[in-house]
Amino acid sequence: MVAEHTEPAVSFNGTKAQKEVAERAFQALRARGMFGSSYAPIQVSLASLEAYLTSDSEVRADTIHKALAANDQVFALITVNDEAYVVTSRQGTPPLEMRLDNRHSFPERFITPEPAPERPLRTAKPVPKIVINAEIAAQISDTRDEIASVERDLEVLDGITAPPEREMGGVTLERLAKDVPPVVEEAPVADIPGSETDEPVAAEAPVAPDESTLKLEEVEEEAAPEPEVVPEDIAPVAEVVAAEPEEVEQQAAELVVEETPEPVAVVTPPVSQREPIVEEVAAPAPVPARQLSDFSGFTDDALSAAIQERIEKESRFARFGDRWMAEDQLVRLSRGNLRRIADDINEQERPLTDDVLAQDVLGARRSSPDFATIRFALNYRLSSERGFEFIGTHDQPFWGTTELSAIGTTRRKASDIGTDYRYLVDEAPLGSTDPRSATSVEHTLSFYEFTYGLLPLDEKLQSLLPAPVMAEQRAAVITVEIPQFENSVYLVEVRYPTQTRGGFLLGLDDFYEEKLVPGAMLSIQATDNDGHYKIEYLEDDEQQDRFLELDDRRAAKYVFRPLTYDTAVSSEWLVTEGRFPRLSSEKPLSERRRRRIEDVVEATFERVGEQDGKTWTATFDDVLVAVNIERPASETSLRSAIEGMPSVSDDGSGILTYDSAS
C-alpha cells in the first residue's frame, strides 16, 4: 500500500533568522516523531536541540531561545527534573490534552439502555354525539308522504283501489253540487260630483255554508246573513273617473257628503265543490304474440343433434367433446408452452390430466375465475396438435404423447390382444349398449386375463364404462381404486374396439399377481366420476394350491407352482394341477395356430381330454377353461366354433368328443 505523506502548513513568527531557526527546529522534532500520531507529543531536550542546530551553522543559543519563545503556538517548553524540554506535534501544535470519549462507545450504549419512552395516560374516549338535522328529517318525511300520496292516486287511476271518500264538516260528500249563480242586490253609493256616470259597487264576502243544509243530492241556497253596517267614519267606496289634476283638486275641495248611504246587504253564493277530474289513460297497445315452434314431437337427442349440426357450421365456435366456446375468448398457447407440456408428460412417464397441466405448466390457479376457460383452451389446442393424444374421459381428461410408453403388460402387444378379442366385435360392438347405464358388474377371471392383467370390454363392461369423448379416440385412461388396499390406485387403459379388433382393459397385472389367482371373483363399481372406478374382491379363508403359470424367462412353457390365497374363487375357472395335470411343461401354441380358434380347440382336447385311441372326450366347461389359457373365448363364441367343426360332436349332456381322424 502506498500512502501519501503531506506536511502541515505551519507558519512561524519572528524575524527572518528566527523563522529559519524555528522551521529547522520543527523539522528536527517532526523527524523524531515521524511514526507517531498527528497530535502525539514529540519531546526533545533543549540541550540536544541546541547541539543539533549549532553543529552545522553559526546559530547561537540565545537565537534558538528567542525563536522558540516567538513561536509558542508551535513549541512548548517544559521542565522535567530540572531539565528543559521542547515539545511539539507532527501537526505543529503544542501538546493537547487528550480525553477518551466513551459517551457513544458500544459498551456504554450496551450497558446503559435508553430510558423507556413516556406513554400518555389513557383517557376515556369521548362518546360521539348524534346530531339530527331537523330540516333534513322534515324533508325526508314530506318526501315519503308525497310518494305515498302519488302511489295512492296511481292506484285509483289504474282501478286497483276505490277513490277515498272526502268529508267536510263531518258530512261525507258522495256527489258534488252544481255551481249556483250568485245573487247580487244593488245598493246606493255616494255620488262624486263631477263624475259623468254613477255605478253601484257591490262588495262580496264569502260565507261558510251551514252543515245542516247540505244534502247528498244537491246543495240549497243559504239564507242571507244580517246586513253589515258600515261605520260612519269610513267613507263608502266609489269609482273614480279619470280627470285633469287641477280639476280633481278643485272638486276634492268642494266635496261635501250630503247624506250617509244605507248599509249594503251582500249575498254570497253557496260554495260549490268541483267534481274531480279523471284523466283517461290510453290502454297499452297489445303485444303481438310470438310464433313458437312446437318441438313436442321431437326427442332431446334429435334437438341436440340439430343444434350441434347448426353450430358446427360456424367457425366462430370452438368445440371439444360436447362443450362449446367462442373462438375469440380462447387462451393462446405458444410453442414454448406446448414443448413444456410434452416434456412434463414424458418426464413423469405417465399421462397427465388437463387440471395438472394447467396448474404446473401454465401456472393457472384452481381458485381463479378463468380456470375453466384455461382448461378448455388447453384441451382444444392440444386436440389439433401433432404429437399429443387425448386418452381421457369427460370428467377426467388425460393427455399423453406419442413417445409415452404403453400401459400394462409387456408380455404381449396390445394389437395382438385386440386380435385375440376379435370375437367381441360381433358379440358386443361399440354402441350396442348405453354407456354408464350400469353401476356395478361381476366378473370371474380366466387364466388369459390373469396372465396379462386385463379385462374384456364385453357388453357388461360397456354398460359400466364411458363412451369415447372424441370421434376418433382409440383409448381412454381411467383410474381404478382397490378399497381393500391402502393408497392403491392403478392407471388402467381402456382400448375401444375397432372393426377388426375387440376392446379390453389393460394395466391390472400388478394387482392380479399380488392378491388374486385365476378364477377369482371381482366386483367392478362405478363412481360419480366417469374416469374413476373401484374393484373389490371377495375374501375367504386362506388356502394353498398349485396353480398353472406361464414361465417365459427362457423358453416359454407352462408350469405349476404353489400359491397361497385368501380370495373367494369360482371352482369352474380354476386351473390347478389336480384338474389339468398334463399341462405341466407344455409349450404355448405358435402365433399362427393361436389365431384359429379351431386349432386351439383341437390342441385343448389333446391336453385336457381323456384319450381313447384317436378320440378325446372332455366336458364343455373344461374345454372352455383350457381354451382361455391360449386365447380368450366366451361361451357363445366357443359353442359357435365347435358347431362348425365336423371333428367335434356333442351328445347333448355337456360331453364333447373330438375325433382326430375325421
- Looking at residue 256, its pLDDT comes to 40
Place of cell 388374486: 516
Q: Burial, 495: exposed, middle or buried (Cβ in 10 Å; 0-12, 13-18, 19+)? A: buried
In degrees and rounded to multiples of 5, residue 619 shows phi and psi of -75, 160
* Beta carbons of 206 and 266 less than 8 angstroms apart: no
The larger pLDDT score, comparing residue 190 to residue 585, is at 585
pLDDT range class, residue 160, cuts 50, 70, 90: low
Name the residue among 390, 393, 549 with its Cα closest to residue 464.
393
State the first-to-last Cα distance of the chain, in angstroms, to the nearest integer: 114
Long-range contacts, 43-48 (Cβ 8 Å, 24+): 43/78, 43/85, 43/86, 43/87, 44/85, 44/86, 44/87, 45/83, 45/84, 45/85, 45/86, 46/77, 46/83, 46/84, 46/85, 46/86, 47/83, 47/84
Average the pLDDT over each of 187-201, 266-280, 420-434, 457-471 and give the range with the smallest value: 187-201
Q: Which of 48-62, 132-146, 464-478 has the highest average model confidence (pLDDT)?
A: 464-478
pLDDT tens for each residue of 614-647? 899 999 999 999 999 999 999 999 999 999 999 9
Name the residue among 127, 94, 97, 122 with its Cα closest to residue 26.
94
Helix axes 620-630, 635-643, angle to 10 degrees: 100
- Looking at residue 264, its pLDDT comes to 46
The larger pLDDT score, comparing residue 658 to residue 258, is at 658
pLDDT tens for each residue of 183-232? 444 444 444 344 444 444 444 444 444 444 334 344 344 444 444 444 44
pLDDT range class, residue 163, cuts 50, 70, 90: low
In the predicted structure, residue 652 carries a pLDDT above the cut 90: no
pLDDT tens for each residue of 356-406? 999 999 999 989 999 999 999 999 999 989 899 999 999 999 999 999 998
- The percent of residues above 90 in pLDDT, for the chain, comes to 41
Q: Mean of the pLDDT values across residues 21-31?
A: 86
- Please give the grid coordinates belonging to residue 382: 392440444
Q: Mean of the pLDDT values across residues 469-497?
A: 91
- Looking at residue 391, its pLDDT comes to 94
In the predicted structure, residue 48 carries a pLDDT above the cut 70: yes
The larger pLDDT score, comparing residue 246 to residue 301, is at 301
- Looking at residue 214, its pLDDT comes to 37
249: amino acid identity, one letter: E
Name the residue among 490, 410, 413, 414 with its Cα closest to residue 457.
414
Q: Mean of the pLDDT values across residues 235-253?
A: 43
List of domains in the chain = 16-88 (1.10.10.10), 317-405 (1.10.10.10), 415-585 (2.40.330.10), 597-659 (1.10.10)
Q: Mean of the pLDDT values across residues 296-323?
A: 84
Average the pLDDT over each of 135-144, 287-296, 570-579 and give the range with the smallest value: 287-296
pLDDT tens for each residue of 86-103? 888 888 888 776 676 666
At residue 388, the 3 state secondary structure works out as strand
At residue 574, the 3 state secondary structure works out as coil
- Looking at residue 647, its pLDDT comes to 92
pLDDT range class, residue 3, cuts 50, 70, 90: low
pLDDT range class, residue 331, cuts 50, 70, 90: confident
- Going 481 to 482 to 484 to 488, the CA torsion angle's sign is negative
Tell me the average pLDDT of the chain.
Answer: 80
Q: For 109-126, b where at least 16 C-beta lie within 10 A, e where not — what string?
A: eeeeeeeeeeeeeeeeee
* Beta carbons of 446 and 572 less than 8 angstroms apart: no
- Looking at residue 543, its pLDDT comes to 92
- Looking at residue 289, its pLDDT comes to 66
The larger pLDDT score, comparing residue 414 to residue 256, is at 414
- Looking at residue 283, its pLDDT comes to 64
* Beta carbons of 532 and 518 less than 8 angstroms apart: no
